[in-house]
Amino acid sequence: MKETNTNLIHEATGAAAVSPSGTSDDPVRAVPERKVFVKTYGCQMNVYDSQRMTDSLAQQGYVTTQTPEDADLVLLNTCHIREKASEKLYSALGRLRKMKDERAADGRDMLIGVAGCVAQAEGEEIIRRAPSVDLVIGPQTYHRLPQALTRVGRGEKVVETEYAIEDKFEHLPAPGKEQVRSRGVTAFLTVQEGCDKFCTFCVVPYTRGSEVSRPVSQIVAEAERLAAAGVRELTLLGQNVNAWHGQGAGGREWGLGELLFRLAEIPGIARLRYTTSHPRDMDDALIAAHRDLDQLMPYLHLPVQAGSDRILKAMNRRHTGADYLRLVERIRAARPDIALSGDFIVGFPGETEEDFQATMQLVRDVTYAQAYSFKYSPRPGTPGADLPDHVEEAVKDDRLQRLQALLTEQQHAFQRGMVGQSMDVLLEKPGRLPGQMVGRSPWLLPVIVGENPGEIGDIITVRIISTGTNSLVAEAVAAKRQADGAPQALDGASPGKVLSGFPSGLA
Ligand code: 5AD
Ligand code: SF4
């Protein structure tokens, strides 16, 4: 069975959407225009990084293009989380080499760069195996991209994978207003990077390094800039986002809960979300934010990975199944209509049928609105890879199939439960048919609304009339513009039976 999940955009592949240059608030360029094609693999943090790299390249005179064929620079922003990442990369590089050779025969140049977690993990090896690559740059050094390209321009092959001492966010240029607008009314904002949890299956602590939180002032300034350009919904990102901490007003130590309250004060910000969280870092203040902060959307991606305590221990998750269930109870007591999403791994070394049944039971006990499930894939250099008793592929396939059947059933039940409900929808883009708009429910699922219900950025009240494929179909019941955008209560949505399609992160 294909290792997949039932959501929409887990694999955020595709070119980063960026506006053409020359907009009124872009800096004046002294350099000729060149084209960059950015392909993004993996999680939302890579999507955010691709945007920031594109912002930085815009200052070097690069405009984005949607195809590699006419690009002067092709940048692959890679993901290393599961198997086949490097195989995928090398086959993409094989195709690009042909393109580069054809271009060279015409007397034109095409630069190839590899960024992201595979770049970090493999470094120079990438250039050894694929000599057509000009630049390898790890996630902590993106702010050095302009200098790296200058060196490449001088004919050097550049590998930048050192952990930078300087704060990359300080040195990455902010996007112009037009750039932000072109990306839509929802935006990602990375507030935290890296992870200190060392789950034994996971490469993140090695590729992204240890936990770093961005300071409050930097986050607030970026959020204000986004809001001023028309962004209405912010999703705070971090590999382990709820481990974020910083110094708030009066030098007080803040956690993510306090940060969310501060961001909610910014005019124009109507909705807040965050991902991805570790159960151990869900503190009281964050749970209270789910109870008290209207702008915080009732959706939480809270990976558990497995249901068996023996396997959770071997994974170094630092919580039991019962801890997780108690936590879910507390969160639901604070916010009864919250939708839960999770990540699951089947076939971790030593997993028996009984262990797997504990995962199935936990899923039944929690009832997820959305979930992501994977077969365990040994990642070189992680402790899990060296454990004995690896599970046979056919057994992993079978377990994944059974788990996904249960999760899909829960997701569909949730979607069906939405029909007839009223809810607020943030309109994001035009739909496929004339007059149609596509927005998002508080629970994140796309909602298609007909008959010119409002403008992009409006939050309108709709009634759900049917379910589509991973979307809901609705009619507007109150085409009004809301200043604050706080979601209205559902008419009797059953607690915990809420869905969404949200790309998974980590934790
Ligand atoms: N094998 C399978 N799944 C993995 N994940 C992370 N590492 C591995 C691995 N080695 C999954 C986890 C994580 C999600 C982003 O990817 O479920 O939460
Ligand atoms: Fe950290 Fe999440 Fe990876 Fe665990 S799964 S090591 S919490 S990023």
pLDDT in tens, 97-114: 999 999 999 999 999 999
Containing structural domain, residue 113: 34-168
Instruction: Give the residues across from 64 on adjacent strands.
Output: 36
Q: Tokens 């796309």 — which residue?
A: 446
- Residue 87: pLDDT band (50, 70, 90) is confident
Q: DSSP class of residue 304?
A: -
Quick count: other Cβ atoms within 10 Å of Cβ 162? Answer: 11
150 within domain boundaries: yes
What single-letter amino acid sits at 478? A
257 within domain boundaries: no
pLDDT at 387 over 80: yes
* Residue 142 Cβ < 6 Å to ligand 1: no
- Residue 29's pLDDT is what? 46
Among candidate residues 168, 197, 220, the one where a domain is terminated: 168
- Closest ligand 2 atom to 305 CA: 5
189 within domain boundaries: no
Q: For residue 304, which ligand has an atom nearest its CA?
A: 1
pLDDT in tens, 180-217: 888 999 999 999 999 999 999 999 999 999 999 999 99
- Residue 507's pLDDT is what? 57
205 within domain boundaries: no
The CATH number of the domain holding residue 164 is 3.40.50.12160
283 within domain boundaries: no
- Residue 7: pLDDT band (50, 70, 90) is very low
332 vs 314: CA distance, rounded Å: 28
Question: Percent of the chain scored above 90 by pLDDT?
Answer: 77
* Residue 424 Cβ < 6 Å to ligand 1: no
pLDDT at 2 over 90: no
Mean pLDDT of the 472-498 span: 51
Instruction: Tell me the CA–centroid distance for residue 295 and ligand 1, in Å.
Output: 30
Top mutation candidate among 311, 345, 363, 386 for ligand 1, by most atoms within 8 Å of CB:
345
Which H helix or E strand runs over 128?
helix 124-129
* Residue 199 Cβ < 6 Å to ligand 2: yes
148 within domain boundaries: yes
95 within domain boundaries: yes
pLDDT at 28 over 50: no
Among candidate residues 168, 187, 208, the one where a domain is terminated: 168
pLDDT in tens, 444-479: 999 999 988 999 999 999 999 999 888 999 999 965
pLDDT in tens, 106-160: 999 999 999 999 999 999 999 999 999 999 999 989 989 999 999 999 999 999 9
**The pTM is what?**
0.88
85 burial type by CB count under 10 A (0-12 exposed, 13-18 middle, 19+ buried)? buried
pLDDT at 317 over 80: yes
**Residue-wise over 322-355: b if at least 16 C-beta within 10 A, else e?**
ebbeebbeebbebbebbbbbbbbbbbbbebeeeb
